[in-house]
Structure 1
C-alpha cells in the first residue's frame, strides 16, 4: 500500500494534450484517464494483510476515484498537484481512510475478508499515520 500511495502523492504524470486543457474542477478525459491508470498501476503487486484480492481491488478503485475527484477539485492539473506534496499526501490519506472505512462497513454486512485478523478503526488510522510519516 505504501508503494501505491507515494506515486499517488507525487502524481508523476506527463500530461499533454492538443487543444483542450484541464482546469480546476474540470480536468479533460485524457488527464483523468491517465491519472486513474497511473494510480492503479502503482497498486499492482501490493496488498493489505488480511484483505483478499477482490477486496483490495475495490480498495484501490475507491482510493483512485476519490483522489481523482479531490485532485480535480483542488488543482488545475496533475502537474500543479505535484507541486503541493503536503496537500496531495493529505488527499491520499483521506481517501485511503474513506475507502478502508467503506470496506469495513461492507465487512460488517458479510464482506469478502480472509480469515486473517481484521483491522479495526485504530489500526487503519495507525497505518495511515505511518504512511503519512514516510
Structure 2
C-alpha cells in the first residue's frame, strides 16, 4: 500500500503545482496547464486505485477488459478538468463544495467502471 500512497501524494502535489502555474499564465496557455493538471490528477488517482487492486489477492483468476479500463482512466480526468474550470470562476464555499462533489463523482465513477472491467468467474454485487 505504500507505493499507492506515494503515487497518490506525489500526483496530487503535482496537480496543485500545475494548477498554480495555470493561474500565472495568460488565458491561451492557462487552458493547456489546466488540462495537464486534470490529466495528472486523474491518472494519479487511477494509478493509486490500480496499484491497490494489484495488491489484492484473491483465489479467483482476474483479468481486465481494456476498453473499460481505459474508460475508467478518463472518468477522473474529465471530472477534475471540469472542476478546475469551475473553481476558477467561483472560489466561495459553494464553489469549493461543487468542485469537491464533482471530483468525488469522478472518483466513484472510476471505481465502478474499473470494477466493471474485471473479468472474473464470479458475480460482483454491491451491498449499500
- Class of the TM-score when normalised by the shorter of the 2 chains: 0.3 to 0.5
User: TM-score scaled by structure 2?
Assistant: 0.47
* Higher share of residues assigned helix: 2
User: TM-score scaled by structure 1?
Assistant: 0.45
Larger Rg: 2
